[in-house]
């Protein structure tokens, strides 16, 4: 990475943690098409553990975009949930984002970069049996806001996308074949979010689409939550 920067100072560099998931693959494709060089260690199936600090020791020295997409969920009643299951969700969804922020700071400062995290409508409208997931996403929103204040003087902007329902589920989500039709009935357009939709928005942010904005949590949702509230 250092050699690439020296040979081509105009090159754009991105770090995408969670690059092997549905959303990650869509984002990587968009970034590559836009000319970004992506930190390769997160692109492999056997990528580093996002919850371990040593995984972030060799980030690029120049970073224009750092995105934390890694996330898992766990379904259980709060009163029966094992502490280990709670901690695993917190570690993947929140601690990993903190570690990326901590170790990407110097590269983002040099690149006057953009830091992006992914929240969920569960942060404000949680489903039952999702205590760890809802808590981790709420905390991630708080982290993103705090970093906007802390990093503003270095021209680093932070953004959190509070996603509605994607057309493709996370690997750890329990699949219910009746779920998507019910959700689509509550979406005014009837359209679920495609990973490419989110990828295009992140690229827009990275390319300076919102230079006056930082610390915002954007409801990336086709009015599903709004419609539920109006029905209730």
Our count of domains for the chain comes to: 1
Q: 170 pLDDT band (50/70/90 cuts)? A: low
Range of the domain at 199: 2-231
How far is residue 229's CA from residue 232's CA, in Å, rounded to a whole number?
5
* Weakest mean pLDDT among 39-43, 124-128, 155-159, 174-178: 174-178
Q: Taking Cα atoms as reference points, which of 72, 65, 23, 16 lies closest to residue 199?
A: 23
> Of 61, 64, 63, 69, whose CA–CA distance to 42 is shortest?
69
What is the rounded distance in angstroms from the CA atom of residue 42 to the CA atom of residue 68?
11
List, for residues 127-136, the tens digit of each pLDDT value.
Answer: 999 999 999 9
Which residues have C-beta within 8 Å of that of residue 10, sequence separation ≥ 6? none
Residue 207, class by beta-carbon neighbours within 10 Å (0-12 exposed, 13-18 middle, 19+ buried)?
A: middle
- CATH code for the domain in which residue 103 is found: 3.40.50.720
Q: Under a CB-based contact definition with an 8 Å cutoff, are residues 132 and 177 in contact?
A: no
Helix (H) or strand (E) holding 156, with range, is: none
Set 56, 68, 133, 224: catalytic member: 133
Instruction: Give every strand in the sheet of 36-38, ordered side by side.
Output: 36-38, 12-17, 65-68, 114-120, 157-163, 216-220
Angle CA(40)–CA(2)–CA(53) in degrees, nearest 5?
55
For the stretch 19-52, pLDDT in tens is 999 999 999 999 999 999 999 999 999 999 999 9
Distances (CA, A) of 200 to 132, 137, 229: 29, 22, 28
pLDDT of residue 3: 47
Q: What are phi and psi of 34, to 5 degrees?
A: -90, 0
Alpha-carbon distance of 214 to 160, in angstroms, equals 9
Q: Which helix (H) or strand (E) holds 12?
A: strand 12-17
Over range 172-194, report the average pLDDT. Answer: 82
36 is annotated as an active-site residue: no
**Which H or E run includes 196?**
helix 195-206
Cα 158 to Cα 117: distance, rounded to the nearest angstrom: 8
pLDDT, residue 82, reads 98
């Amino acid at each position: 990475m250092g050699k690439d920067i020296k040979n081509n100072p105009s090159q754009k560099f991105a770090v995408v943690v969670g690059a092997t998931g549905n959303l990650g693959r869509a984002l990587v494709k968009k970034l590559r098409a836009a000319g970004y060089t992506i930190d390769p260690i997160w692109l492999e199936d056997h990528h580093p553990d996002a919850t371990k600090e040593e995984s972030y020791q060799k980030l690029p020295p120049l970073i224009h975009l750092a995105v934390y997409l890694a996330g898992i969920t766990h379904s259980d009643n709060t009163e029966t949930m094992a502490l280990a299951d709670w901690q695993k969700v917190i570690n993947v969804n929140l601690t990993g984002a903190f570690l990326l922020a901590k170790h990407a700071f110097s590269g983002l400062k040099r690149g006057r970069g953009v830091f992006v995290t992914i929240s969920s409508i569960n942060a404000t409208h949680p489903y039952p049996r999702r205590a760890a997931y809802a808590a981790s996403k709420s905390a991630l929103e708080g982290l993103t806001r705090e970093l906007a204040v802390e990093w503003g003087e270095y021209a680093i902007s932070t953004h959190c996308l509070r996603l509605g329902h994607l057309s493709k589920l996370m690997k750890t989500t329990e699949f219910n074949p009746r779920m998507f039709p019910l959700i689509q009935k509550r979406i005014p357009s009837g359209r679920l979010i495609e990973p490419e939709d989110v990828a295009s928005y992140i690229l827009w942010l990275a390319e300076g689409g919102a230079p006056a904005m930082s610390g915002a949590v954007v409801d990336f949702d086709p009015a599903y939550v709004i419609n539920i509230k109006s029905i209730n």
